[in-house]
Structure 1
């Protein structure tokens, strides 16, 4: 571990435990990945990143799933999605729980939302340079503490600890990692998202919503099994795979040419480099990382099919103080792939 690492208290995540004798059958029927491969027999067990899809094949949720002694644990972003009436909204955990309930008839399976019971702490090592690969999910139990290696960042560990003992958590985590407490530097949510962008991980509710199809996230190798058998929404996912590429895809951009103090924002539009100012956008930003003193940084968002290959360059514009409207460039970076499971 580096001499110092960031310790970040994250807002409550979506944590759903699906428990019961038939939990495997229910989760298999609702997810894009082959959760039947998961096992709880080892104290050091692997997990699977997966989408939870609705009957139309849209992304109702995006989680990393692990087998537990009495079922499965699903961990994801807080995520907020619109309800059916489009007036109110719900957290990702609530949407997943209601979805599982809806498709459980006589089976022994029950979703349990753990969001408010568990405090989420992320320890992050390394820098924010763009990653080429991210770790495969892994859950480790040691000294009665569960920790999770997730593809959310290039190198780091998630701890979920009882919320009622939160003041003790930093020292507990330091002891669990075998380091001095002062080697864990306090970070914040902005630090987490900067590292998340470097790892190319989409955050449900920000970069992905229930309006998107799984393939639009460009994470097929990490999240979709095309051989697992039937699940809700499979027909749409399989048909899209058979037909070929989607019309838009989530990409990472390397931003360049931004004047000091200028920061793109979510929902900013990007156009082809030589396009007229009134030309139709071919890209839309969903997340922005830190911009350095050289006017460079990372962003994530959707590019149209004509511009989502690595190396494609788009142009954006922002109003800069004392300068007026300025143009910057956004170059598509290669996609981040997951490590092969150990």
Structure 2
């Protein structure tokens, strides 16, 4: 069965726990999605916006009985941790940076669910955006069924998880390709605190327009009322031409920059990527003739 799964060190390397009597209320006032509505063992995507409604951080919020954990791609703690600590000073909460203290792996593939079930001795696995804790050979394992990839994917976190994949070659190089194909942004590469929440183009996954007030909500609500932003992150495809361009790569049409490609990979004979592209040119199916060639907007 090991031939039917792939694994890599977990890319969710930002991991910050918030606990304490008012931890749910605290995060409800600082994130774009509805933490109050989450059940225990459920996760959601969310932004932690700045006062201006820009994306300070993006990731998952995993709700437990007595805590909520933010799990994000890449190195987001540098900005996020002091932001949370600043507001925690006036709340009855504790903010803990777990970082990469505990080993964690990401497992994916068509047989990933069966492999995970066999490894942890469970037949009833969490559904997507659900998480649970188990014991494997007397050691704790935290299991999270992610939506990072189009393929079924699981994060396993615990002191002994690396033993589960002994003898299985790591696929660390291919995970980023699959992330790009799934359109999942990497903070610090595809998006940053320079971007408005709706520019990330994941409104359905990461924003609740029904919850109460939160930091940055005024800007998010104003943009929703306007109906558009001036640019969005979209998936693109290009026919390969020479060497892959250095990123970020400007898209120049008739002498004007209309966007930038931020992530790029080779898949199925084409360059596939993510790019922040200007309104009027970023609709799915559009084709841009630019200095890099013809760029098709996939989604």
Are residue 205 (structure 1) and residue 188 (structure 2) matched?
Answer: yes
Runs of 4+ in 1 over 4 A off after TM superposition: none
Task: Please give the alpha-carbon distance, in whole angstroms, between the structure 2 residues aligned to 1:123 and 1:105.
Answer: 38
Q: Verify the 8 A CA contact 2:128 2:147 in the aligned structure 1.
A: yes
Counterpart Cα distance in 2 of 1:285 and 1:316:
12
CA contact (8 A) 1:57 1:233 kept: yes
> Would you say the 8 A contact 1:118–1:160 is kept in 2?
yes
- Rounded to whole Å, the distance in 2 between the matches of 1:264 and 1:124 is 29
Aligned residues: 278
Deviation of 1:59 after TM superposition, in Å, equals 0.9
SS in 1 for 2:88: coil
CA spacing shift, 1:316–1:192, aligned 2, 3 Å: farther
Q: Conserved in 2, the CA contact under 8 Å of 1:6 and 1:125?
A: yes
Q: Is the 8 A contact 1:121 1:158 kept in 2?
A: yes
- Cα offsets for 1:286-323 (capped at 9, x unmatched): 0111255x4x1211011100111001112354xxxxxx
Query: For residue 6 of structure 2, what is the aligned residue in structure 1?
Result: 6
1:308-319 equivalences under 5 Å are 308-317=282-291
Question: Following the alignment from structure 2 to structure 1, what is the Cα–Cα distance between the partners of residues 296 and 7?
Answer: 31
In 1, distance between residues paired with 2:49 and 2:250? 28
Aligned counterpart, 1:85? none
> What are the superposed Cα offsets for residues 188-220 of structure 1, whole Å, 9 maximum, x if unpaired?
2x3111010111100111111111110000000
The answer on 1:61 being equivalent to 2:35 is no
Please identify, of 308-317 and 29-38, the stretch whose mean Cα deviation from structure 2 is larger.
308-317
* Structure 2 length-normalised TM: 0.86
Report SS of the residue matched to 1:281: strand
Displacement of 1:138 in angstroms is: 1.9
Residue equivalent to 2:129: 137
**SS state at 2:190 partner:** coil
Aligned partner of 1:74 in structure 2 is 70
1:118 and 2:99 equivalent?
Answer: no
Residues 150 and 158, structure 1, Cα contact 8 Å, conserved in 2 = yes
CA distance in 1 between counterparts of 2:11 and 2:32 reads 27
Residue 38 (structure 1) shift: 1.9
The answer to whether 1:268 aligns with 2:252 is no
Q: Which runs of 5+ in 1 are unaligned?
A: 80-91, 127-134, 163-167, 175-180, 318-326, 335-342
RMSD between aligned residues? 2.1
> Which one of 204, 225, 229 corresponds to residue 246 of structure 1?
229
Q: What is the distance in 2 between the residues matched to 1:252 and 1:136? A: 23
Structure 1 residues 145-166: Cα deviation after superposition (integer angstroms, max 9, x where no partner): 111122211121112223xxxx
Judge conservation of contact 1:248–1:302 (CA < 8 Å) in 2: yes
1:280 matches 2:245: no
**Partner-residue secondary structure (3-state), 1:192:** helix
* Distance (Å, rounded) in 2 between the aligned partners of 1:12 and 1:225: 23
For the residue of structure 2 that corresponds to 1:170, the secondary structure is helix
Partner of 1:36: 36
C-alpha distance in 2 between matches for 1:291 and 1:3: 21
Partner of 1:82: none
The answer to whether the 8 A contact 1:38-1:46 is kept is: yes
Separation (CA, whole Å) in 1 of partners of 2:267 and 2:290 = 15
Q: Distance in 2 between matches of 1:2 and 1:330?
A: 37
Distance in 2, Cα, partners of 1:255 & 1:169: 38
CA distance in 2, matches of 1:315, 1:191: 29
Instruction: Give, in whole Å, the separation in 1 of the partners of 2:295 and 2:238.
Output: 5
